[in-house]
Structure formats: structure tokens, C-alpha cells
């Protein structure tokens, strides 16, 4: 006979799989009535937690794992990850919680937890596949404390901390339109990546709302060399779009180098806008959409630490804003102003 699963219980009751998982571990955020119905159905159908979840109730390492879904060379070369890890590590240190870091395109979440190497886990939502998400929700039915940074591929009740990208993107498009731009080029992340599709859709919608059009779209690899290659390709277009949008700062940095090598003036000939606002962006004068990367890491660790201590902490959505610097033009007779009110010199 096929073993009864969490999904079977969820389908029978007409609730989310994660709701069943949380009810079985007596999560106080699930109503007493729902918890009663879930436990009774689990008993009636003979449900038993999977081996990984049972292992979690027996082993306690006190360690929190941080799983980054990229190769180690990529992670170490990208300041987004170092900034995120700084936030995670600062809260972990204050809480006296050791962390275990892993960089792999295919993280084995279940193995970490099953073997008792970690009691908690932070995963990047954008790098979690639908199958991984289901696995994580199942593991949360044990004593694992799990939090996501960034939006996963579908809705989930796992604790999540995200940045609302819309305000920063909308401001960027409004400023480009005010400076006279009408045709844009967009360099997104890898083709097929859910986060890249979502961000590209947001750029397109915001550009259209500002009266502009994205006339060229390329898929990059989120690296500086990839950004340089994209820039060389865009320079071969006729006509060349006079404002370029990048899915992250790393690709924008690569593009700036390629534009300088080609003798193209930034922002006179081409304006460049990045995304993330990693620390080198200010040094290079890159106009970029700022998301609070360190704060995302800090809050994710707070969620996990709270869960490890039997407490709860709320999910959180941070805002984004535009940091306007030297790689974009100001609107005529208008000073360059950060969308959170800081006037900057772009001369």
C-alpha cells in the first residue's frame, strides 16, 4: 500500500501542504481547529513523517546551513553573495549560532537535515526549484527551521523575506523617460530562470508605463564577462539603444568596461542602469536599483533563530529605490535625486 503523504492530507482537507506540516508540529499560527482536523486525519489515515523528518526530531547540531544555488567560483566573484552572507553572519554571531555554508548549483537540502548536520536552513528562493520547495516544506514538518531569501517559484507558507522590486524599477524608468530616452535594451539573467523572467517582465511593464519600449533583449549569465559580451553584441545593433538595463550590477560592470574600450561615452551616448547596488556600484558611479541585500540576510537569520528557539518572527518585504549616479543623465534642469531623497552630484 502506498504510504500516506503530507500532500494526501492536504488534498483531503483542501488546504496547503505547508499548512498540514505546520499543524502537525503544533505551530501556534495555525488555528486550533485546523490543527485538530489535521491530526485526526493523520491518525485515521495512518500518516507517518518521512525518515528525514523523523531524523530531525532526534538530532540537534545547533548549526544553521546557508545554501547558495551557484558554484563556489561564481559566489566568491559576486559581491551580492558576500553582502548577503555578511548580514546572515552578523545575526548568527550575535545569537551564538554557528553557520555552515555551501555553494552548489544543486543543493542537497534533505541530506543536510537528515544527517543532522544542521537544524536550520537558509535557502535563496530564486534558486529553489518547485521540487526543492516541496521537499523543504516537507522537511519543515520535522523540527527544521527553514527560511527563504527571495521569492520562490510559487506561493509557500515557509518563512520568507523578499524585496519589492517595483518601486525602484518604476523610478528608474521614470527618470530615464524624463531624460529623453525612448528605446531601451535589456540584459536579463539566464534564460529559463524564474527570477530573471520576473524581473524582465517588471522592467518591460515599467518602461511601457513611462512611454518607452524595450527594443532589444539579451540573456546574460549574471557575470561581468557576460555583461561585457552583451555590451559588444548591443553595440552591433542598428540603431543602438541609448539606455541599457541590466539584471544585476555584475553584468553592468562588465558592460561599462566594454563601452569604455569601444570609445562609447557613458551616459552621453549610452545610459547604463544596474540592479542590486552592491558596494562597488558607488565606487564606479553606477546608477542602479538598490535592494537592501545585507538586511535581507539579517532578517532571514532572525527568522531561523526565532524558530530554533520555539518563537516566531514575521515575514518581511523590504522596498527598493533608485540610486542615481554618473551612468545616467539627469532630466533637463533637474538635479539627480535618489528616490529616497538624497541629492547627488552626477557631473
How many domains are contained in the chain? 3
The predicted structure's pLDDT at residue 339: 52
185 and 281 fall within a common domain: yes
Residue 5 sits in a domain of what CATH number?
1.10.260.40
Summarize the confidence of residues 232-239 as an average pLDDT. Answer: 92
The predicted structure's pLDDT at residue 347: 34
260 and 337 fall within a common domain: yes
281 and 170 fall within a common domain: yes
258 band by pLDDT with thresholds 50, 70 and 90:
very high
152 and 210 fall within a common domain: no
Tens digits of residue pLDDT in 295-335: 999 999 999 999 888 887 788 999 999 999 999 998 876 55
37 and 78 fall within a common domain: no
Summarize the confidence of residues 215-241 as an average pLDDT. Answer: 95
192 and 329 fall within a common domain: yes
SS (H, E, C) the chain: CCCCCHHHHHHHHCCCHHHHHHHHCCCCCCCHHHHHHHHHHHHHHCCCCCHHHHHHHHCCCCCEEEEECCCHHHHHHCHHHHHHHHHHHHHHHHHCCCEEEEECCCCCHHHHHHCCCCCEEEEEHHHCCHHHHHHHHHHCCCCCEEEEECCCCCCCCCCEEEEECHHHHHHHHHHHHHCCCCEEEEEECCCCCHHHHHHHHHHHHHHHHCCCEEEEEEECCCCHHHHHHHHHHHHCCCCCCCEEEECCHHHHHHHHHHHHHCCCCCCCCCEEEEEECCHHHHHHCCEEEECCHHHHHHHHHHHHHHHHCCCCCCCEEEECEEECCCCCCCCCCCCEECCCCCEECCC
User: Which residue range forms the structural domain that includes residue 88?
Assistant: 51-162+295-318
174 and 273 fall within a common domain: yes
Q: How far apart (Å, rounded) are the C-alpha atoms in residues 180 and 174?
A: 10
337 and 210 fall within a common domain: yes
The predicted structure's pLDDT at residue 346: 39
258 and 198 fall within a common domain: yes
191 and 333 fall within a common domain: yes
313 and 246 fall within a common domain: no
Whole-angstrom CA distances from 87 to 5, 84, 92, 278, 292 are 36, 5, 9, 13, 10
The predicted structure's pLDDT at residue 50: 54
Residue 62 sits in a domain of what CATH number?
3.40.50.2300
283 and 299 fall within a common domain: no
Tens digits of residue pLDDT in 29-56: 788 888 888 888 888 888 876 544 544 4
pTM of the model as a whole? 0.78
Amino acid at each position: 500500500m502506498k504510504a500516506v503523504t503530507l500532500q494526501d492530507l492536504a488534498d483531503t482537507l483542501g488546504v496547503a501542504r505547508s499548512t498540514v506540516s505546520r499543524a502537525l508540529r503544533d505551530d501556534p499560527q495555525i488555528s486550533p481547529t485546523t490543527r485538530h482536523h489535521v491530526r485526526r486525519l493523520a491518525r485515521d489515515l495512518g500518516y507517518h513523517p518521512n525518515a528525514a523528518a523523523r531524523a530531525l526530531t532526534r538530532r540537534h547540531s545547533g548549526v544553521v546551513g546557508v545554501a547558495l544555488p551557484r558554484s563556489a567560483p561564481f559566489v566568491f566573484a559576486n559581491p551580492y553573495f558576500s553582502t548577503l552572507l555578511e548580514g546572515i553572519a552578523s545575526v548568527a554571531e550575535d545569537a551564538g549560532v554557528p553557520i555552515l555554508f555551501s555553494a552548489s548549483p544543486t543543493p542537497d537540502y534533505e541530506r543536510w537535515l537528515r544527517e543532522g548536520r544542521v537544524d536550520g536552513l537558509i535557502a535563496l528562493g530564486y534558486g529553489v526549484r518547485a521540487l526543492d520547495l516541496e521537499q523543504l516544506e516537507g522537511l519543515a514538518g520535522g523540527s527544521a527551521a527553514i527560511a527563504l531569501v527571495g521569492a520562490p517559484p510559487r506561493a509557500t507558507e515557509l518563512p520568507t523575506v523578499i524585496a519589492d522590486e517595483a518601486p525602484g524599477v518604476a523610478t528608474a524608468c521614470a527618470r530615464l523617460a524624463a531624460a529623453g530616452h525612448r528605446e531601451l535594451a535589456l540584459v536579463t539573467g539566464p534564460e529559463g530562470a524564474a527570477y530573471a523572467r520576473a524581473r524582465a517582465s517588471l522592467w518591460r511593464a515599467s518602461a511601457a508605463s513611462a512611454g518607452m519600449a524595450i527594443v532589444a533583449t539579451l540573456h546574460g549569465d549574471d557575470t561581468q564577462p557576460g555583461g561585457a559580451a552583451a555590451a559588444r553584441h548591443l553595440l552591433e545593433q542598428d540603431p543602438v539603444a541609448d539606455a541599457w538595463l541590466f539584471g544585476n550590477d555584475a553584468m553592468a560592470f562588465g558592460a561599462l568596461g566594454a563601452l569604455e574600450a569601444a570609445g562609447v561615452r557613458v551616459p552621453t551616448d549610452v545610459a547604463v542602469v544596474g540592479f542590486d547596488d552592491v558596494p562597488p556600484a558607488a565606487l564606479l558611479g553606477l546608477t542602479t536599483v538598490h535592494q537592501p541585500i545585507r538586511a535581507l540576510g539579517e532578517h532571514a537569520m532572525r527568522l531561523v533563530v526565532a524558530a530554533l528557539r520555539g518563537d516566531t518572527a514575521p515575514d518581511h518585504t523590504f522596498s527598493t529605490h533608485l540610486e542615481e549616479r554618473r551612468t545616467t543623465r539627469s532630466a533637463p534642469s533637474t538635479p539627480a535625486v535618489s528616490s529616497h531623497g538624497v541629492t547627488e552630484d552626477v557631473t
